[in-house]
Amino acid sequence: MHKQAYSRWLAATAALIAVAACGGGGEKTGAGASTGATTGAAPAPAPSAGAGATTAAAPGGAAAAKPITGKTWDVKMIGDATGYRYEPKDITIKQGDGIKWTVVSTPPHNVSFWPDSLPPGTAGALEANMTNAMSPLVGPLLLNAGDTYTMSFAGVPAGTYKYYCTPHLALGMRGTITVQ
């Protein structure tokens, strides 16, 4: 009987180690690392430094992301004593502009779009510009203060796009992007 208990303990420990080992590997992102792939393509003057064009393919091998051809706007991802939020919460941009979300405090954060709030027929264009997406319309989790995610709105039809932070949705972390 003692041997059986030890065997179960050993199997459970081995399984736990295997699961823990699955959490590592791949490219690490640290403070200041960008999760959205960017290039040095010459965008129009932007309010933020280091703005570039996103170039990675969309999930499932769909069309490649379109480059940012206008301004790149900064949105902060914040969690503090006053709540979890995007600053600014609501932003109006032009087609071709980009947004760079930056984790300021209390990660993880991400950008997830409400599929049922999108203007009709826009999901494909939006998904194509979401590099490193975890699933359709869900951007990657940013795990460290200083991490960024940049997304182009080139080729995205005009309209209102409601989004939220998956880990902090219940805490009210929501925003709206109006594309003109």
Distance between CA 15 and CA 118 in Å, rounded? 42
* Active site (catalytic) residues: 109, 165, 168, 173
Which of 18-53 are b and which e, b meaning 16 or more Cβ less than 10 Å from the residue's Cβ? eeeeeeeeeeebeeeebbbebeeeebeebebeebbb
Distance between CA 93 and CA 74 in Å, rounded? 11
Per the listing, tokens 């599929």 go with 115
8 Å CB contact between 103 and 78: no
CA distances to 77, 125, 154, 155, 166 from 119, rounded to whole Å, are 25, 11, 15, 13, 21
